[in-house]
């Protein structure tokens, strides 16, 4: 099953790095996978889930948000609004070079960004939010000890979950605090699948409940049982991919057929 490296420009003219996971046979549909906060296109969940979807005939573009991984830019510019626009830029590249995506799959903050981007991408017919927060400001918990410093000094270098040191600016903080999802979810007009583990200790299950209650039909909820937030178990990624494949086929058929 081939993987191809690609790059594309975002709305700021920055080059974003991506990888295409290509099915061995015919590609039934194209999807964009959006990674979690401080993760990358090469995180375990991103790689395993994208490849598991490709084995099921779903071509996937996974890419690094602005300032993350191999993409250009600074991490401080990778706020929620920028993530949303990066997904829209990825969809534009796919429409020009492959086929416009019909499916968005996002993990954690990437799931929230996928919900924000879906209404801006006419080709999208289904969205999957995995362990996603119902409000982008939830990520403040990752640097809560530094919020006063960020507000007072304009920026702070913080260690987040042992993944590295990141410069968080006042503008970054203001962006995630101003961003809301309720209107996006309420007016999504696409099929929505919310997937969440009841015991998720990073993003609580109440976030999934709020997303599900806010959304209109068609909507579905699948419990991820005892899976961890980062989906580090390979079998868990296979399960999630199998569910996404089965669930989305009903809505994608309406596009492809």
Residue 248 belongs to a domain: yes
Residue 145 lies in a domain: no
Q: Is the pLDDT of residue 118 over 90?
A: yes
**Predicted model pTM:** 0.95
Q: Rounded mean pLDDT of 3-8?
A: 97
Q: Does a structural domain hold residue 144?
A: no
> Residue 36: inside a domain, yes or no?
yes
Residue 64 sits in which domain range?
3-137+181-256
CA geometry: angle 33, 76, 228, nearest 5 deg: 45
Domain total in the chain: 1
Residue-level pLDDT at 164: 73
pLDDT per residue over 192-221, tens digit each? 999 999 999 999 999 999 999 999 999 999
- For 40-78, write each residue's pLDDT tens digit: 999 999 999 999 999 999 999 999 999 999 999 999 888
Which residues lie across from 130 on neighbouring strands?
A: 107, 195
User: Which CATH number is 71's domain given?
Assistant: 3.40.50.1820
> What is the rounded distance in angstroms from the CA atom of residue 78 to the CA atom of residue 51?
25
Question: Can you tell me the mean pLDDT for 118-144?
Answer: 95
In a domain, 88, yes or no: yes
pLDDT attached to residue 254: 44
**Cα–Cα distance between 38 and 99 in angstroms, integer?**
28
Residue 57 lies inside a defined structural domain of this protein: yes
For residue 236, pLDDT beyond 90: yes
For residue 163, being part of any structural domain is answered with no
């Amino acid at each position: 099953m081939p993987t191809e490296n690609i790059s594309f420009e975002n709305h700021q003219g920055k080059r974003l790095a991506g990888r295409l996971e290509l099915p061995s046979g015919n590609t039934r549909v194209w999807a964009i996978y959006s990674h979690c906060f401080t993760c990358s296109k090469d995180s375990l969940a991103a790689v395993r889930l994208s490849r598991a979807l490709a084995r099921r005939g779903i071509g996937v573009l996974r890419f690094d948000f602005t300032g993350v991984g191999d993409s250009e830019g600074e991490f401080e510019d990778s706020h929620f609004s920028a993530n949303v626009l990066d997904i829209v830029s990825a969809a534009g590249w796919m429409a020009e070079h492959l086929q416009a995506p019909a499916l968005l799959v996002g993990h954690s903050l990437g799931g929230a960004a996928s919900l924000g981007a879906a209404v801006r991408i006419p080709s999208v017919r289904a969205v999957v939010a995995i362990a996603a927060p119902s409000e982008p400001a939830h990520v403040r918990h990752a640097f809560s000890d530094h919020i006063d410093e960020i507000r007072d000094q304009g920026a702070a270098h913080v260690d987040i979950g042992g993944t590295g040191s990141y410069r968080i600016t006042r503008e970054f903080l203001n962006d995630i605090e101003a961003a809301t999802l309720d209107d996006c979810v309420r007016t999504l007009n696409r099929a929505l699948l919310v997937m969440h583990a009841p015991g998720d200790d990073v993003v609580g299950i109440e976030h999934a409940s709020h997303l599900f209650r806010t959304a209109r039909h068609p909507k579905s909820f699948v419990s991820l049982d005892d899976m961890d937030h980062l989906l580090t178990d390979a079998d868990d990624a296979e399960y999630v991919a199998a569910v996404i494949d089965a669930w989305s086929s009903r809505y994608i058929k309406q596009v492809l057929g």
